[in-house]
Amino acid sequence: MKLEDLRKIREKAEKELKLREGKARVKIVVGMGTSGIAAGAREVLKAFIDEIEKRNLQDVIVTQSGEKGLSSHEPIAEVWEEGKPVVVYGNLTPDIARRIVAEHIVNGNPVTEYVIEVKEA
């Protein structure tokens, strides 16, 4: 396995990107401060990444930020969708992260029992 193998991926992906032409539809931001990491934020971030990779969701990006100031609810993630309020999830686990991808990102139904805040984008 070599980095040169990325060329094949690039050629395939470039064709798909040309067809799509759009920017990301959804952005998931996971809080990664010290307390977030201690509470399992890395595993949550990895679960989001795994699910997006598995479902090949090319219009969804997962990113990270510093602490969000909601330490008692960590791990925390925000879901940003164009034209919609930002949904903040708390007390996450890898399993809940996978549910959020399936139910919220793919099917448009937020996983309400883990929503801790809804705010304007």
Catalog residues that contact another protein under the rule CB under 8 A.
Answer: 1, 3-7, 9-10, 12-14, 17, 30, 32-35, 37-38, 42-43, 45-46, 49, 52-53, 55-58, 61-64, 66-67, 69, 71
1 or 19: CB nearest another protein: 1
Helices within the chain (DSSP H only): 6-20, 34-38, 41-54, 94-99
Q: Which phi and psi (to 5°) does residue 29 adopt?
A: -115, 120
The token pair at 53 is 């990779």
21 or 113: CB nearest another protein: 21
Classify residue 29 by its DSSP letter. Answer: E
61 or 86: CB nearest another protein: 61
